[in-house]
Amino acid sequence: MTPSGILCARDVPLWEDAKAFLDVRNNDEHTLVAYGLARALLAEIPEAEESVVLPAILLHDVGWKRIPPDLLLDAIGRRPTRRDLVRDHEIFGVEIAREILERHHPAGVDIAAVLAIIDGHDTTNEARSIDDAVMKDADKGWRCTPHGMRIIAGWYGWSRAELIDMLETVSNPRMLTPAGRALAEGLTAAVKAELLLPHYLDVDIDA
């Protein structure tokens, strides 16, 4: 499937401009998977504005491009030492996203509303609007996907069992919508069940 099969036609030009800012920390891959999750959540939460949520999830992490690469892993994880960089990437992200959005002026998109939920998407825990909640849930829900687990395990050398423990105790309880919580818990449960297959079957599973 090509990116155009994931993205709606309106957002393809935004993606083409955003790619140059998303080639760090697997953000290009993360963005496309999270965009797919956002579309799934929007189907369950019709009161959210698709024209706000989808451009926001597409552009939410462009600001990491301006953070020195050797500091990226200090900003995230179980024991981050540079949480200030998380706020910095939001500020830079708003600047870059504004340039991209104003360059294209996508039809029907409230640019100010998109920028408002990019700003603070990682440093505010509560939902400031239903659009903010859906965007946050799509972003965090990525951690529970097989893709997210593979990437995070590569960053930190964690096992899938360690990741599942983190998801069940820290990440999943912080999902902001019932649909987001169900998505995260369902994905996590599926991976956990896979890891437990050797208890019931004569199979080898890479934990």
pLDDT digits (tens, 9 = 90+) for 115-170: 999 999 999 989 999 999 999 999 999 999 999 999 998 888 888 899 999 999 99
CA 119 centroid distance within chain: 14
**Pure H helices in 21-122:** 27-44, 50-59, 84-104, 111-118
pTM of the model: 0.92
Per-domain residue ranges of the chain: 3-199
Task: Return mean pLDDT, the chain.
Answer: 92
Choice among 39-43, 45-49, 78-82, 155-159 with the minimum mean pLDDT? 78-82
Q: Extract the tokens encoding 163.
A: 């990741």
C-alpha pair distances (Å), 71 with each of 67, 120, 126, 152, 187: 7, 20, 27, 16, 30
Topology classification of domain 3-199: Hypothetical protein af1432 (1.10.3210)
Which residues have a Cβ under 8 Å from the Cβ of 70 and sit 6 or more positions away?
A: none
